[in-house]
Amino acid sequence: MISRVCFPIATVFLVIATGAPSPRALGQEVQVVEVTAERFSFSPSEVRAKVGSTIEFRLRSEDTAHGFHILQTDVNGVVPKRGQGTLTIRFQPARSGRYTFECSRLCGAGHSFMRGTIDVE
């Protein structure tokens, strides 16, 4: 009876102990970037980062709902419309170069111009 009680407790502890540590726990800095989406633009529309760093995008809209997609990655989310909250996305670039992000939700006539870049060194 005692071994049956201890086994589940040890299993739960093992799962918690082996979970992926947060970037802060590993001593890595998280680069927080506050982004405003509005009228077919992102501000800022250019971000600089280092390979392997963690970028935390905090996106707010000043008008309607917008998408946020980093091309050639699986990063894609919806920025809630004005006053409805913030979209928080973490991205860790694995290679140097230029990543393009864009609005992935049709938001009006200028939708195709709503882009930005992440320059990774």
Reduced to 3 states (helix: H, G, I; strand: E, B; else coil), residue 6 is helix
- Alpha-carbon gap, residue 112 to 27, rounded angstroms: 39
Residues 28-50 have pLDDT tens digits of 689 999 999 999 999 999 999 99
pTM for the predicted model, two decimal places:
0.76
Taken in order of first residue, the domains within the chain and their CATH numbers are 22-120 (2.60.40.420)
Reduced to 3 states (helix: H, G, I; strand: E, B; else coil), residue 17 is helix
Reduced to 3 states (helix: H, G, I; strand: E, B; else coil), residue 113 is helix
Mean pLDDT within 67-75: 97
Residues 85-103 have pLDDT tens digits of 999 999 999 999 999 999 9
- Nearest CA to 45 out of 105, 113, 93, 121 is that of 113
